[in-house]
Each structure stands twice: as C-alpha cells, then as structure tokens.
C-alpha cells in the first residue's frame, strides 16, 4: 500500500469516527426539541376529537407514557432501522411518506444546484477576472441581493412575472399537469426520471416546465455563495507565482484564467458545496409551499400545522442525516483532490 492511499484511508476512517458523536448530538437535539414543544402531540393531532380514555390508549400505543430514556432508546432504534413509526394525523408510515415525497424534493434540489452552478460559476469567474470593474460590481450586487432575498419573495416574484398574471410562459404550481402526473408509472419516485424510463417524452417536457420556476427560485438562494467564493479564489490564484510564471511564458490570458486560476478556485467551492445542502433543504420548505410542490418540505409544513410530532421528528431526522452524510462525502472528495487535507 502506498503512503498516499494509506493516508487517505486513515482520513476516511477518522472522518467516519468523528461523524458518530455528531450524529448522536443531532439525534439528541431532535428528540429534545420534539419533547419540549408545548402541548400533547396525540391530543393536538386529533383536534380534540378523542375522549380521555381514547387519548390514553393512543399515548400508550405511541409510547409517550414511558420514561424519557426508554423513549429515546426506541427513537435510536427507529433511526438505526429507518423505521420512524406511523403519523398520528393520517395513519401513514413516516418512512413511506419520506420515500414518496423525497423524489420531488430530490429533483428540486438537483435542479436548484444546477441553476446555481450554471449562473454562479461563470459570474464568479468573470467578476474575479475583472476585479473592481463594472461587471465585478454588478456581479457582487447580484450575489448580495439573491443571498439576502427570502425564498418565498423570489418565488412570488417569479410567479407574477412568468405565470398567468404575467408573461404566462411557465406553470406556477405543482410538479406536473394533473393527468400527466397520474399517468406516469411510479418506479423511482422521481417523476421526471420515471417519465423518461417509461419513454413518455411529452410528460418529461411537461414536468421539466413545472420544474423551472421552483428550481430557479431555490437556486438563486445559494448562487450568491458560489459567486463570492469563486470570485475571491480567482483573485487570490491570479496573484500566485505559478500564474505569473505562466504569463511570463507567453501563455494567453484566457488560458491562464481558465486552466490555472479557475481550476484552483474550484477546490474551496467543493468544500462549501456540502454546507449548501442544508440551505437547499431549508429553502425547499418555503419553495415547495410557494409553488405547491409535493415534496418533503411541504409535507413537513403540513405535519407541523397538524402538530404531528411523529412525522415531524422523522422528517427532521432524515434532513439532519442527509446533511451529515453529504458533508462526509464532500470531505472525502476534497481529500482525494487535495492531499493536504489528509494531513
């Protein structure tokens, strides 16, 4: 085994070991927040329709009459088996809710990340290349505005501009037209992918149109981070000795920027990418509500309003685990790209 491969393996094992206490702390926080929330979850989810005896039966079935340490142990076992129980309000499996709604959130998050990359990378590159010029000032102003603007404000503006009350170019609600969504066979729970697998390209086009506005809205939330990170790193790399050496050898400025400065500027962006997953998941809650997108975020709002703590606990737990796993994967990729990270 080479020294480099050995250091990479040690780094991966160390990173996994460090993730264990972090996951445990997250689970403790989720459990405590659900238990300190005011009100009785069983009574709240049933809207006062059950008698005291029936409430006691439901509380016993849900395990809420057990000591907290027993409830926490049951919660840890549910996380380990990915079996988060049954919702109080509609008697559905929380795991099935996450699976069925997760595809919509996944497609929205992927579309938003694509939008952020397509817009953020070239704008950041150009802004860093032409530092303190008009195009740089415009790019920085755009980054600040998009970063500060709430998701629901951007969503409402997009609906007004491109919806029926504006240019009427794009759908403003739902994941697809009603008949299209009903006719696509469910395979992966990702509607656009299921339509492509079925060979229904008309449905693919319809779903893609519905995906545009929510993806752009959610993508604009994180595009400012991309622009600022790439701009700063392009400026720093353009001042490096190896860039000056490339210029001294007579290499064209375009090649210097794209082949030397740009590649090195992307390394820190990979690190930040993992942190943006949390912003995407948080932003998807408001974006899905604004565009009536049938994802996990909208389901979370519905269950919060219903005071369905079992569903909320399961969904928030999955969100936390997804952020941890993706952060670990980003760290692994970083260690593979930049050997300095391993040490």
**HEC assignment per residue over 234-269:** HHHHHCCHHHHHHHHCCCCHHHHHHHHHHHHHHHHH
Give the predicted TM-score (pTM) of the model: 0.82
The distance from CA 81 to its chain's CA centroid, rounded to whole angstroms, is 23
Question: Whole-angstrom Cα distance, residue 277 to residue 324?
Answer: 10
The residue ranking higher by pLDDT, 1 or 37, is 37
Predicted pLDDT at 341: 62
- pLDDT value of position 306: 78
Selected residue with higher pLDDT from 89 and 311: 311
Q: Whole-number mean pLDDT of the chain?
A: 81
Taking alpha carbons only, the member of 333, 296, 285 closest to residue 95 is 296
- The three-state secondary structure class of 135 is helix
> Where residue 77 falls among pLDDT bands split at 50, 70, 90?
confident
pLDDT at 138: 92
Q: Which of these, 85, 152, 145, 107, lies nearest to 314 by C-alpha position?
A: 85
- pLDDT at residue number 333: 76
């Amino acid at each position: 085994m080479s020294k480099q491969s050995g250091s990479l393996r040690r780094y991966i094992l160390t990173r996994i070991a460090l993730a264990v206490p972090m996951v445990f702390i997250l689970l403790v926080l989720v459990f405590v927040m659900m238990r300190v929330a005011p009100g009785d979850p069983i009574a709240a989810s049933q809207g006062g329709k059950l008698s005291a005896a029936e409430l006691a039966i439901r509380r016993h079935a849900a395990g809420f009459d057990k000591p907290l340490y027993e409830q926490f142990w049951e919660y840890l076992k549910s996380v380990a088996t990915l079996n988060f129980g049954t919702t109080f309000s509609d008697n559905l499996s929380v795991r099935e809710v996450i699976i069925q709604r997760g595809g919509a959130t996944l497609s929205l998050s992927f579309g938003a990340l694509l939008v952020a990359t397509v817009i953020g990378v070239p704008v950041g590159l150009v802004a860093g290349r032409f530092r303190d010029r008009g195009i740089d000032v415009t790019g920085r102003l755009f980054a600040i505005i998009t970063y500060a603007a709430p998701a629901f404000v951007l969503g409402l503006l997009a609906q007004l501009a491109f919806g029926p009350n504006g240019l009427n170019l794009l759908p403003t609600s739902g994941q697809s037209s009603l008949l299209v969504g009903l006719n696509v066979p469910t395979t992966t729970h990702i509607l656009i992918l299921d339509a492509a697998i079925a060979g229904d390209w008309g449905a693919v086009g319809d779903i893609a149109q519905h995906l545009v506005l929510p993806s752009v809205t959610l993508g604009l939330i994180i595009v400012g981070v991309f622009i600022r990170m790439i701009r700063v790193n392009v400026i720093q790399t353009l001042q490096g000795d190896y860039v000056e050496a490339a210029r001294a050898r007579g290499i064209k400025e375009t090649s210097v920027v794209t082949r030397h400065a740009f590649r090195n500027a992307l390394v820190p962006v990979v690190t930040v990418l993992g942190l943006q997953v949390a912003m995407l998941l948080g932003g998807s809650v408001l974006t899905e509500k604004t565009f009536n997108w049938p994802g996990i975020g909208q389901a979370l709002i519905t269950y919060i309003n219903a005071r369905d703590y079992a569903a909320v606990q399961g969904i928030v737990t999955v969100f936390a685990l997804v952020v941890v796993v993706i952060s670990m994967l980003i760290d692994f990729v970083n260690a593979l790209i930049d050997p300095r990270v391993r040490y």
